[in-house]
Amino acid sequence: MRLFEQHLNRAVTISTYPCHRAMRLSPKLAANLLALSCWLVLTCLAVAQDLPPGKRLPSVTMSPPPTITVTRGKPGTVDLHFRIDGGFHINSNTPTTEFLIPTTLKLTAPTDIVVGKVIYPPGEQMSFPFAPDEKLSVYTGVLVLGVLVRPLVTVVPGKYAFHGQLKYQACDKAACYPPRQLQVDFQINVAKGSAARKRNPGQSPHVHR
């Protein structure tokens, strides 16, 4: 703190263009300029995030999913768990108005493994101050999406990785924020499955001589 005071007690010399003569500033003016510089830096950081100072961006996080085993040639369901920050909600997969962006999950599957469909839960019907006369379909808290996968019978048994993005638009009680994307990664273990038993032909009840 003493070193800071010593710097302020000195005359500050700055050069301006196109003027080549130096201008000497008083300690009080130097302190004001320093405070103004700090305020500008903080303001620029806030503007870079499209938020006023003191506000925070909405966040959706994904819990690490367990690796499930799916028998090749048969379907299986992978449950993906997401958590939405408190105080925020995201639009459901079927928002009530076309102006709101739905929550969607897009996945890239390994070769010879089919993603059947993504199961979205129904949204909660809620009203907010920015649209008090309208019920909006939203997700809050914990969101669970089911992904149907089916490895073809030709798939070599082993672990396979899926990659994709969860696209969503988050809002609070006052306004909605720009759409965002969350990286989604998970694996499944493909098993060969038990071989089908061959049934012996039934014996005739008659005695063969």
Question: Is residue 92 exposed (0-12), middle (13-18) or buried (19+ Cβ within 10 Å)?
Answer: buried
Residue 43 reports pLDDT greater than 50: no
Q: What is the pLDDT of residue 134?
A: 86
pLDDT digits (tens, 9 = 90+) for 46-72: 333 455 544 667 889 999 999 999 999
| CA within 13 Å, CB half, 24 | 3
**Going from the N-terminus, what domains does the chain have, and what CATH number goes with each?**
2-48 (no CATH), 60-191 (2.60.40.10)
Of the two residues 54 and 106, the one the predictor is more confident about is 106
Write out the two tokens for 55.
């506000």
Which of 4-8, 47-51, 198-202 is modeled with the greatest confidence? 198-202
pLDDT digits (tens, 9 = 90+) for 17-35: 333 343 454 554 344 434 4
DSSP H/E element including 182: strand 180-191
